[in-house]
Amino acid sequence: MNRKNYKKSLATIDMTPLMDLTFMLLIIFVITVPAMYYKSDVQLTPPESTTNDKMKVEENSLFVELDRDGQIWIGDANNKRSRSIASPFDLTTELKNLHDTKPDMVVFLVGDKNRKYEEVIEIANAVQRAGVDTLSLVFNPEKEK
pLDDT at 19 over 80: yes
Q: Are 73 and 110 in contact (CB under 8 A)?
A: no
Q: Over range 97-126, report the average pLDDT.
A: 85
- Return the pLDDT at 145: 44
Q: Are 124 and 107 in contact (CB under 8 A)?
A: no
Domain locations along the chain: 61-139
Level-2 CATH architecture, domain 61-139: 2-Layer Sandwich (3.30)
pLDDT band per the 50, 70, 90 thresholds, residue 44: low
pTM, entire model: 0.56
Query: Which tens digits make up the pLDDT trace of 95-109?
Result: 888 888 888 888 888
- Phi/psi class of residue 28: alpha, beta or left (left: φ > 0; alpha: ψ in -120 to 50)? alpha
Q: Over range 103-128, report the average pLDDT.
A: 85
Give alpha helix (H) positions in the chain.
Answer: 16-36, 88-101, 117-129
pLDDT at 29 over 80: yes
